[in-house]
Amino acid sequence: MPGAHYVDGDSFKTPEQTHTFRCGYIALHPRPGAGPRAVGFIRNNAPDSPWFSTALSEDDFTEWTRIPEVLGAPAGDAAPAAPATS
């Protein structure tokens, strides 16, 4: 889901053994039958690790867990409402 963050680790792994993925958008792969890709940024969870762009398939998400709220990402499946205008 665009704007969502995911982690592939658990509490038994060190930060260097885990990664965080931030989804930017979903795109269809041009190869027939290849399915959608989550395009975004991934980083190792060690302190000061840089972010790299990547694309992940549905099969890549078997070990990932969505982080409900990180760096202002929406906690639910919907984006936050726009501020009211006068």
| Domain range summary for the chain, segments of one domain joined by + | 5-67
Q: Residue 34's pLDDT band (boundaries 50, 70, 90)?
A: confident
Report field, pTM of the whole predicted structure over 0.95? no
pLDDT score of 80 = 39
Residue type, 61: F
Kindly list the distances between the CA atom of residue 51 and the CA atoms of 10, 38, 45, in Å, as whole numbers in the listed order: 20, 15, 10
pLDDT score of 3 = 84
Quick one: which of 10, 42, 8, 4 has its CA closest to 25? 4
Q: Are strands 36-44 and 65-67 parallel, antiparallel or unpaired?
A: unpaired
Structure tokens at 14: 């060190």
Average pLDDT over residues 53-64: 88
Low-confidence winner among 38-47, 49-58, 63-72 (lowest mean pLDDT): 63-72
